Homo-oligomer: A and B are copies of this chain.
Amino acid sequence: MKVGIIMGSQSDLKVMSEAAQVLEDLGVEYELTIVSAHRTPERMFEYATSAKERGIAAIVAGAGGAAHLPGMVASMTSIPVIGVPVKSRNSIDGWDSILSILQMPAGVPVATVALDGAKNAGILAAKIVGVTDEKVSKNIEDFMKEMKDKVLTSAESVETDGWKSKI
């Protein structure tokens, strides 16, 4: 099972590469490319309608502003689509991308994550793969354990050394 990562423009790559990176870290296969809803609508149609047969289990789609890519892709495939609201240059504090991804009409869900939350989108895709792939599921649990350990270490260090040494 493979995850497809797409984004509206190469300028989204800085944010969206975090999804690719975490999928690599969690041992999930993926492909990544650029598909623009507004500049290459035919390519988007092609991508969305062929994704399932090409072995894609879930799609991570990121876009900014009036972000139509995640919702349009979701309307043309039965596989889960995860949307990443990207804060674009002239964004109104991110509200535009969040609302145009999140507020999909009944029947066409997009699994929306936080603003610029591509890492979480990757983890969510891995969790979906992990539903039936025990290896990936185990990797996610290890990842969660690592996060916990980092907090415990930093807590211990603050308690031992005092907060004044950490500022």
Contacts and interface: CB of A to CB of B under 8 A. Distances in A.
Copies in the complex: 8
A127 B68 CA distance: 20
B115 A92 contact: yes
Interface residues on A, range: 35 or more
A54 interface: no
A161 B38 CA distance: 24
A61 interface: no
Interface in A55-106: 57-58, 64-68, 71-72, 74-76, 78-80, 82, 87-88, 90-96, 98-106
Nearest to A32: B163
A121 B109 contact: yes
